[in-house]
Chains A and B, each alone.
Chain A
């Protein structure tokens, strides 16, 4: 129903006096003129760059999340021993604080006079993190979403049959081969679930960019959706971008569902 409501706004009209979106609930009356404008903008116009940038940022952030999160989850599942609970709490603890507050804290830390910037300057790193840099936005995304990758991954890895890994080693596989041929395939379901879990909100994220950059050079689709829906006279365009993003993300979801179905089949065989 909410998706249908978004479509009714996207293909609806604008109140001539109050400039509110007027949804058209009857699909037979839908107006597709604005959809053409947005489609053109996404394919050949200014929004094309935003879409490409959004994909690039999310892919970079996801890769970093996997690079950092997988070893952490692996350590938690295999080597944390009696301190497992403590490590888990330490990972989760910062996330008891609201996302906005944590990002605002980073704004203070990363400002030229902030603690982090001053600390880095000890090592000769003089970098203005808040000057609208893509690196800051990507790192912000990583920081914001990495626990949502670590926790499901940890849950998957903890349930692995470690005897298979030991068997691989006994049969002559080195560490790298064991990881590539045994650990990764066995944790595939967790990797896909964790990837989907962080990719979906990252694609729609706008406040990370809002707080850490606010430069047009780092504008993401979420920022354009926020602008059109909340601060423009064309809320339909925001709804259309939501639809476009949703259709794009359905590919992720279909991959995830297919992967889940395959795992269920393998388990029940």
Chain B
């Protein structure tokens, strides 16, 4: 499974992931968080300060020699970036691949995976990692480039004070489309989401195979902007609306917008903004990048993943160094060229990305700006009973 499979799964898995209440209570964390099913979690309204059960490494330690072991999604780090880092620090980086966040955490718990540094975990995954006491707190004296991180992410709700995490990539939910088939103004002249219900795109339309994302999209279309609602009527309406979408357009439900839009097999696709950048690599020869466009709804879900270091890391200093390396603007740009997704750095501005020539102007709207992040809607863990309501509606939609 690739990175985008993970994106599909995290929003599913987020239904019910919680932190150990006793552990949090013991550390005073529960008071700033909300509770789900008797256990504490962080939300944007009630951020969480995660419990600390061990000290961060001391300041000024020498870099380790030998090998730095990382755990990452497939194709989620530029090999060229690794080579530069290896040369700079005179070490070797070895990579283990995971294809499912929950499975990776299970393997971290039972010791199958023993990495120093983990890439691409979600807030949901962080809750599990903390509950399993797998991570060590960061010492930011080794990460001076932390200051490059988008301001709104330096103190995230899922990890107040960024004790354990440094943001890696950022992305938002919206609609990718072919500019040669759909006029950009069609999205702004009315309710942009309505295009997904337009039968003229029957057989040429896709939505994300991600229950929380796609049901939330139907809610946003109807003017309900609580992406974590527990209101059965709103959840049911979203399910019914998706069924009407299915009947009108016979949509594909997958995570393949990044290949299907550039190939011309689809006109329009509800998807993640990062997919449009990856799609550039799949454009047939001779096709202009300007055929790809993205509508970033004014109010939509925007989220990020991050780096974290394991408590058992054999090379914790090098792990900090690699985080710092990839949080450098130039290195992040190089990494982005391969990964496609947008680094969560404030220094990587729209102007910089356009002037670097790696992103066409038609995709400016796919970029997550600090303003868009500030206006973002977030998904958090759902109560299991509420999660079941969402899942029931998703089943009703996908069962056809």
Contacts and interface: CB of A to CB of B under 8 A. Distances in A.
B242 to A, nearest CB: 9
Given A19-B17, A131-B250, A215-B252, A49 B400 contact: yes
B71 interface: no
Given A14-B384, A19-B16, A232-B12, A47 B265 contact: no
Nearest to B9: A231
A49 B265 contact: no
Interface residues of A, number: 36
Nearest to A112: B265
B144 interface: no
A130 interface: yes
Contact of B105 (A18, A210, A231): A18
A45 B395 CA distance: 10
B395 A224 contact: yes
A234 B264 contact: no
Interface string B105-138: 1100000000000000000000010011000000
B246 A216 contact: yes
B337 interface: no
Interface string A115-137: 00000000000001011100000
A100 to B, nearest CB: 13
A219 B399 contact: yes
Given A215-B250, A215-B253, A216-B400, A46 B395 contact: yes
A130 B260 CA distance: 11
Contact of B264 (A113, A232, A233): A113
Interface in B188-219: 202-204, 209, 211
B387 interface: yes
Given A46-B395, A234-B391, A17 B128 contact: yes
Contact of B400 (A20, A53, A113, A232): A53
Main secondary structure of the interface of A (DSSP, over half): loop
B263 A111 contact: yes
Category for how many chain B residues contact A? 35 or more
A216 B399 contact: yes
Interface in B354-400: 384, 387-388, 391, 395-400
B15 interface: yes
Contacts of A216: 246, 251, 253, 397-400
Contacts of A215: 250-253, 400
A216 to B, nearest CB: 4
B8 A46 contact: no
B13 interface: yes
Nearest to A16: B37
A20 B102 contact: yes
Among A19, A128, A214, residue most surrounded by chain B Cβ atoms (within 10 Å): A19
A217 B15 CA distance: 26
Nearest to A230: B100
A219 B20 contact: no
The 9 closest A-B pairs by CB, nearest first: A131-B203, A46-B399, A216-B400, A214-B254, A46-B396, A233-B15, A217-B400, A214-B252, A219-B400
Given A113-B263, A215-B251, A216-B253, 13 more contacts: A14-B16, A16-B16, A17-B18, A46-B395, A46-B396, A50-B400, A111-B263, A214-B254, A215-B253, A219-B400, A230-B100, A231-B8, A233-B13
7 contacts: A17-B17, A18-B131, A19-B102, A46-B395, A111-B265, A128-B203, A216-B400
